[in-house]
Amino acid sequence: MANESDRYPLHKAVFENDLKNLSRLLRKHDVATKDKHGNTALHLAVMLGRKECVQLLLKHDAPVKVKNGLGWTVLAEAVSYGNRPTISSLVRKFRQQSREQMEERRPNLVQALNRINDFYMELKWDFQSWVPLVSRILPSDICKIYKSGANIRLDTTLVDFSDMRWERGDISFIFNGNAAPNQSLTVLDNIQKVYQNVKYEESEMEIEDEVDLLMSTDILAAQISTKCISFERMQSGWLFKEDRTELVAGQYESELYRVYGLVLESRKRREHLSTDDLQKNKALLESFTKGGNLQGFDQNGVPVRRSSLSPPPDKNITWDHYVHAETNNYPRLGRDLVYKESSKMFKATIAMSSDFPLSVDMLLNVLEVIAPFKHFSKLRDFITFKLPTGFPVKVEIPILPTVSAKIIFQQFEFRNDIPKELFAKPKDYTEDPTRFPDL
C-alpha cells in the first residue's frame, strides 16, 4: 500500500501551495478525488486560502457541490474563509455545473416522459406542526399536474414556502421538454397575468447578490437522515391483531406503515459573521425572499458590496499532520468554527397501494421536472428511499424543523384529451423576468 502521504498528490500540492506541480499533476490525476477525510483538492485550496490553486482547479472543472466527510461543501468552506472573489468564482462554477448536469439528464428525462401515457393528477398538501398555534395557520394546497408527451404543467396556489413564510397566489409551472434549454421552464402568475422564463444563466448582478447573501447569513446544512429508517406495518385490534388498511381518496386500497428513524438534521455555522451581521441577518433574508436587493447603494447609485474578510491566522499545520490525522478529526484549517447542530425525530406514516396506475419511477421523473419548488424536492428525496411494495398514495414528510407535510394522491387518470394550449404562454400575458426571484 502506498504511503498515506503520497496517495493524494493533488491535495499535497495544494497544501504546499505548489502551483507548478499542481498544474502538472492535473494532467494525469482525477480532480474530483477525495482524501481520507472526504476533502477534494478544491476543499483544501479554499480552507487554506490558496486563491491561485482554487482558480486552477476550477479551470479543470473541479466539482463544487461535493461534500466532505463532515458534510460541508466547498462553497460552505469558502464562505467561512471569507474571500469574496473566491466565493464569486465558486457560485459561477456551481451554477454552470448544475446546468450541465441537468442538460446531461434532459434527453433521458424527455425519453422517460414520452414513454408514460398522458395523464392528469391531483396532489393535496396539508402542512402541520407540532407547535399547536403554528399548526392552525399553516397553509394547504391542491396541486394539479398535467402531462402530455414531454410536457408537464403544475398548477398551485402556494407560490413559496420556507422558514415559516409563505406566499399565496395562482401560479402555473410549465416544462416543455422539446424546447431549447433557456425556453423550457416557464412560470405563469395567473393573477397578474405575467410570465417568467426560469433563468438559464444569471446576470453578474444576480451572482453578486447571491454572494452578498452567502457572506451575510448563516451557513446552513439540513438533510433528512435515513441511516436507521425502517417501515413497520400498522396494526389494529387488541387480542387479535391484524394489519391495517385504508381506502385512500376513496379508491386506492392501501397498506399502512409507520416510518421509524426519520430524522431532520440541521447544522448552522456563523464564524464568518460579526455581531452587526447577526442583528441584520433577519432583515436581509426577508428582503431577499421578497425580491429586494441585499446591498445598499452609494451616492452615485453603485451597489455597495460585502468586502472580503481578513484571512484567519495561519495555524502552521503541515501536510503530514493533516493526512495522518484520525479520519474526519483533522486540525481545523481555516477559521475556527462557531457551530450549532440540532436534530428532530419525525413520526410519519405512509400508505402504499398496488392499485395506483403510476409507478414510483414514473413519479420520480415528474418530480425531477418540478424540483425547483422546495417542498416537491423534499417529496422527491423521500420517495428515492427504499419504500415498501406499491405506490405511496399518502405520505408524511418533514419540510422544516417544526413543520411536516401530509401529501395525498387524491386523483389520477390517464387521458388522451389534454389540450396543447395548457403548455403554452397565454397571448395576453406579458414577461416579467423578476416576478419569481428564487427561480
Instruction: For 3-150, list the strands marked E by DSSP.
Output: 119-129, 140-148
Looking at the structure, do residues 156 and 246 belong to the same domain, yes or no?
yes
Evaluate if pTM is beyond 0.95. no
The residue among 305, 336, 367 that closes a domain is 336
Predicted confidence (pLDDT) per residue in 219-273, tens digit: 988 777 777 888 999 998 777 788 899 999 888 999 999 998 888 888 999 999 9
Per-residue pLDDT, 158? 72
Q: Please count the other Cβ atoms lying within 10 Å of the Cβ belonging to residue 128.
A: 16
pLDDT tens-digit series, residues 308-349: 999 999 888 999 999 999 999 999 999 999 999 888 887 788
- Are 435 and 331 found together in one domain? no
Terminal CA-CA length for the chain: 48
Q: What is the CATH number of the domain that holds 298?
A: 1.25.40.20
What pLDDT is attached to residue 383? Answer: 86
Q: Are residues 158 and 247 in the same domain?
A: yes
Report pLDDT digits (tens) over 301-313. Answer: 556 788 999 999 9
**Cell output for 251:** 379508491
pLDDT of residue 368: 83
Residue 103 forms part of a structural domain:
no
Whole domain around residue 17: which residue ranges?
4-98+206-217+270-336
The number of angstroms, rounded, from the C-alpha of 8 to the middle of its chain's C-alpha atoms is 30
Domain annotation covers residue 107: no
Taking the CA atoms of residue 228, residue 229, residue 233 and residue 238 in that order, the dihedral angle to the nearest 10 degrees is 50
Same domain, 16 and 162: no
User: Which residue, chain included where needed, has cell 395525498?
Assistant: 408
Q: Is residue 423 part of a domain?
A: yes
Please report, as a single letter, which amino acid is at residue 19.
L
Spatial separation of the C-alpha atoms in residues 366 and 371, rounded to whole Å: 9
Q: Name the domain count of the chain.
A: 2
Say whether both 350 and 225 belong to one domain: yes
In a domain, 105, yes or no: no
What pLDDT is recorded for position 14? Answer: 97
* Integer angstrom CA distances of residue 36 from 72, 95, 229: 15, 27, 27
433 — pLDDT class (breaks 50, 70, 90)? confident
Indicate whether 412 and 349 sit together in one domain: yes
Asked which of 286, 308, 336 is the last residue of a domain, the reply is: 336
Q: Are 346 and 222 contained in the same domain?
A: yes
- Res 299: pLDDT: 54
Domain end point (choices 336, 356, 378): 336
275 and 260 belong to one structural domain = no
User: Where do the H-state alpha helices sit in 129-252?
Assistant: 132-137, 204-216
pLDDT tens digits along 119-141 = 999 999 887 776 655 555 566 78
Assess whether pLDDT exceeds 80 at residue 402: no
State whether 238 and 351 are in the same domain: yes
The grid coordinates listed for 25 are 499533476
322 within a domain of the structure (yes/no): yes
- Regarding whether 258 and 188 lie in a shared domain, the answer is yes
* Residue 225 lies inside a defined structural domain of this protein: yes
405 in a structural domain: yes
* Most confident listed range (155-164, 182-191, 392-401): 182-191
Q: For 199-204, what is the mean pLDDT? A: 72
Alpha carbon 120 to its chain's center: 27
Q: Is residue 276 part of a domain?
A: yes
Task: Please indicate, yes or no, whether residues 167 and 275 belong to a single structural domain of this protein.
Answer: no
One domain, residues 235 and 377: yes
Q: What is the pLDDT of residues 89-112, one digit of tens each?
A: 999 999 999 888 888 888 888 999
